[in-house]
Amino acid sequence: MAINTDVEDWGGTGSNDAGERAWLLQSPSVDSVQHPEMAERSRGVSTLGAVFIVVNAALGAGLLNFPAAFNMAGGVTAGVVLQMFMLIFIISGLVILGYCSLVSNEATYQEVVRATCGKVTGVLCEVAIAIYTFGTCIAFFIVIGDQLDRLIAAVEDKIDGKVSNHWYTDRKFTTVITAILVILPLSIPKEIGFQKYASTLSVIGTWYVTIVVILRYIWPDKKVTPAYIPTSSASWTAVFNAMPTICFGFQCHVSCVPVFNSMRKKEIKPWGFVVTLSMIICLFVYTGTGVCGYLTFGSSVNQDVLMSYPSDDIAVAFARAFIVICVITSYPILHFCGRAVVEGLWLRFQGEQVEVCVRREQRRRILQTLVWFVVTLVLALFIPDIGRVISLIGGLAACFIFVFPGLCLMQAKMSETESRSLSWHALVGFGVAMVTLGAFIFGLTTSNSIYQDVVN
């Protein structure tokens, strides 16, 4: 599905920009002639199929951090109320993006923002996507290291009855070996066709983790004793500490614009049903994990909830294995998205011809992949837990959920020449509210994260 296939129909002029003629899941430097198999697949995704894809796009490694987020928010009530409040804007943002995609005839998040809000905002959006995917890849490596550490400890305990400290069982060594032998080969190719299998596996894995956390709360392990469980927030500002995790967990907006464009009925009403049902499913999964994980361990819950369980718990060991497999298959997809944005920015500023780009594409792709892989791996080895990463990039997730959709709604309504009714003013006001709230969350969470993790 090409990004700007019918740009002449609404904009008046076409674009020779290689980055703007990129395939959705392909490097921007390749030829943009649509292939027959792509046309075959363009018949569309059903409504239920779209629900499954959106749920898969939202559920991920952020699930592990929700019990700690409930702890930071000050208890179950504060965490649940905050989720319900933010869900209104999360669903509204997805509907707005579908509307703006329909109006602008664009098929990706960054191109919808670029077409609706202008080039400068579009470039800022692309930079934000690159940073966000980069941070998420770091979080993936941290999760791999954490879970492999506990899995190896469980295996050693079963064999020897005690945990050894051999160099080949060290967390950093196992993370590096897994990354080099498995993740790097999956990240270099130009195509990521295996993602359809990884998507199914990720959904199964996250749901299994939720079931295990709930069952371990109902039938707790005798070795686990919960710490103090506060029933209210220490201060009203403490509630905002949970916002980065919630934004990170529910952020699927970047991935959902292509989903909307792939639907059989590309209309706002069925799209509204899809995103509402998808977010309700995600709400139950995240709330079940957050509430039960928090009540199981109380204020002593780890930033990665699975790290709080004993190593010899078989059911939890399977959950760790599922998470490792999910993260290993998800890293190349997130890296691919980030690499495509970086490639598009590079080609746009260089102004190179498509023919030149194709000849140099392989060399650039390998160099970009190696730099991305090494930097994310090194940072993950020295960052202690995923909470540090999520607290920092959660603010960017708020931009994708609130700021950019709000700006798109404002620009789309301001461009209308018809009479400005009460509903027009209400929608513009809602867009202003989304931008204001998103900017507040981004500024507060980012500054707080920098102060806590860097200064202190």
DSSP-assigned letters across all residues of 237-260: GGGGGGHHHHHHHH--HHHHHHHH
CA nearest 51: which of 321, 277, 260?
Answer: 277
Nearest to 306 by CA among 19, 64, 9: 64
The structure tokens 């994708």 sit at 400
What local confidence, expressed as pLDDT, does residue 201 receive?
73
Q: Are 309 and 293 in contact (CB under 8 A)?
A: no
Helix or strand or coil: residue 76? helix
* Nearest to 316, CA basis, from 154, 185, 190: 154
Per-residue model confidence (pLDDT) at position 196 = 56
CA–CA separation, 291 and 100 (whole Å): 36
**All structural domains of the chain:** 7-393 (1.20.1740)
CA distance 78 to 61: 22
Identify whether the C-beta of residue 131 lies closer than 8 Å to the C-beta of residue 291: no
Question: What pLDDT is stored for residue 330 in this prediction?
Answer: 82
Q: 433-436 long-range contacts, Cβ below 8 Å, gap at least 24? A: 433/406, 434/89, 434/92, 434/93, 434/402, 434/403, 434/405, 434/406, 434/409, 435/402, 435/403, 435/406, 435/407, 435/410
pLDDT for the residue 39: 46
Q: What is the pLDDT of residue 239?
A: 78
* Dist. CA 332–CA 186, nearest whole Å: 6
pLDDT of residue 271: 94
For residue 290, what pLDDT is reported? 93
pTM: 0.81
Query: Which amino acid, one-letter code, is at 119?
Result: K
Q: Which two tokens stand for residue 230?
A: 């506060």
List of the chain residues with pLDDT < 50: 1-42, 161
Q: Can you give the pLDDT at residue 26?
A: 33
